Amino acid sequence: MSKDLIFNDYEDAIEYHGSTTIELVRTRWGKVIWRDWLIFDTIEEAENYFNDFAA
């Protein structure tokens, strides 16, 4: 699953693959400028973060 959040100068996207890890990617004008992995202790925490992102 993935979600996008668009700002004036950049776009944030997260991808959740059903585990305790979420990938957060920031792009500007189609180029990746920053990438990070968020690691949670439980699947429920990861799901909650994903569902609350840009809600």
**Residue 48: its pLDDT value, please?**
93
**Residue 27: its pLDDT value, please?**
92
Q: For every one of its 55 residues, what pLDDT tens digit does the chain have, with 9 covering 90 and above? A: 667 766 678 888 899 988 999 999 999 888 999 999 999 999 999 999 999 986 6
**Residue 5: its pLDDT value, please?**
67
**How far apart, in Å, are the Cα atoms of 42 and each of 1, 11, 14, 19?**
17, 27, 17, 8
**Residue 54: its pLDDT value, please?**
63
Number of domains in the chain: 1
Would you state the structure tokens that stand for residue 27, as one six-digit string?
Answer: 């792009």
**Residue 10: its pLDDT value, please?**
85
Structural domain including 32 reads: 2-52
